[in-house]
Amino acid sequence: MGDKNLRTFRYHPAPCRVVRRKQAGANEDHISSAVTIGASEGDWKSAFDQKTLGDVSASHEGLLILATRAAEEPITNSHETTILSKLPFSRPSWLQIMEKFHIHDSVARLINRNTAAEFSRSQMNPNNIDGLALSKFPCHQKEGFSLTVAVYNCRSSASWPGDIALSVTWFPKRWKWYAVFYGCDNATAKNIEHRLNNCEDATCHPLILLGIFAEVERRRQISLVDKGSLDFLSAVSSLNSTNHQLDDSDHASAGSRDNSLAIDPWLKLSHLKNGIQNWKDQLLKMVAHADELNESYFKSDSNSTVAVNELRSQMRRIGGRIKDRLEDIIRDCDEQMRKCQTNLDGIILADQMVR
């Protein structure tokens, strides 16, 4: 990553949780382990040098850093929209993490373009793709990884509190991924770790973390819509109260205040509805990619061994389950948007009735 991109981050070292999930073979238990890495550069260097995070040459597993959310600066009537750019690592530690976890340079754009939700995926050959040079993936030279690499980026909108981001690098031939969840508060980190530890045979599927991301964002959006509904009820109550307290001679002077009472919650709900629609569009892209994976990476091949084709068949079934759940969440998005629209219509009606 170039110095220009590195300067877009702010470095606030803090302890982080790292989860390793190993997919077991037949009749074996899946293995999960987790460790908290301290805030210092020495803690991260020691973790990598002593293989605390496992053997980098291992296959059929995933390694995930739950990057601790930084403390937000107090902002009146708002929240810090650039909070994810505050990384819980020192700059040298971040450079080491980028190398060891094979993080693509596009993570800078992912974190700093925060106005809307985004999901992107790229299939790359590190020999000839700009931004993913072979030097960024030293394991290719040392351990014989496949040259095909899949990079996933996902983030939720920073227009509301609690946004998160995710970067995943997946090596299909080794059935292994490296990932970082950015902006994890304590509750979110526990939720993600719990879901990953209970994913059973889905560990090696590249969409498992994106499915977990969608679950976390679903919870946030439901909370935001519920809060918006309460604000709507408060606005209607205020409009009614104002109308009852004023006689005819006072209505003209109170008109501008009535407008502000109605317009503010209307604008917020309208913005939230648009944000949910944008997130739904990203979910639809994930669903399409689940089909894409089944038709490419996980397609049976007569030149492959029986064991490999059985694993591919298993991944197709898992991909189908993830797709089904994503479609459920898409239907939840539709329901939340309908709630927003009902409230928007209600605000307009209430404003008309008091005039």
Tell me the pLDDT tens digit for each residue of 262-274: 678 888 999 999 9
Amino acid identity for residue 340 in this structure: C
Query: Is 136 a residue whose pLDDT tops 50?
Result: no
Angle in degrees, 0-180, between the axes of helices 186-197 and 208-245, rounded to the nearest 10: 140
Burial 300-320 (b: 16+ CB within 10 A, else e): eeeeeeeeebebbebbbebbe
- For 117, half-sphere exposure in the C-beta direction (CA atoms, 13 angstrom radius) is 27
Most confident of 123-127, 153-157, 199-203: 153-157
Mean pLDDT value across residues 198-210: 93
HSE toward the beta carbon, residue 236, CA cutoff 13 A = 15
Sign of CA dihedral 224, 225, 229, 232: positive
Residues 6+ apart with CB under 8 A from 250: none
Give the span between the Cα atoms of 247 and 256, in whole angstroms. Answer: 16
pLDDT tops 90 at residue 9:
yes
Rounded (5°) CA angle 347-351-355: 170
19-28, 111-120, 235-244: segment of lowest average pLDDT = 235-244
Dihedral of CA atoms 251, 257, 259, 260 in degrees, nearest 10, equals: -170
Model confidence band, residue 69 (pLDDT cutoffs 50, 70, 90):
very high
Short-list 245, 244, 238, CA closest to 261: 238
Pair 315, 204: CB distance under 8 Å: yes
Whether pLDDT at 215 is above 50: yes
Q: What is the overall mean pLDDT for the chain? A: 85
- The stretch 177-206 carries a mean pLDDT of 95
* Residue 242, pLDDT score: 60
Spatial distance between the Cα atoms of 210 and 329, rounded to a whole number of angstroms: 12
Handedness of CA 139, 142, 143, 148 (dihedral sign): positive
Categorize the per-residue pLDDT at 241 as very low, low, confident or very high, splitting at 50, 70 and 90: low
Confidence tier at 140 by pLDDT (50, 70, 90)? very low
> pLDDT value at position 234?
80
Q: Where are the alpha helices (DSSP H) in the chain?
A: 3-6, 41-49, 91-100, 107-112, 139-143, 186-197, 208-245, 248-295, 306-353
Q: What is the DSSP string of 205-250?
A: -TTHHHHHHHHHHHHHHHHHHHHHHHHHHHHHHHHHHHHHH--HHH
- CA 84 to centroid of chain Cα atoms: 11
Instruction: Write out pLDDT tens, residues 86-103.
Output: 999 999 999 999 999 999
The percent of residues above 90 in pLDDT, for the chain, comes to 59
Rg of the chain's alpha carbons, rounded to an integer?
Answer: 24
User: Residue 352 half-sphere exposure, CB side, CA atoms within 13 Å?
Assistant: 6
Average pLDDT of the residues in 109-125: 89
- The backbone torsions φ and ψ at residue 213, rounded to the nearest 5 degrees and listed phi first, read -55, -45
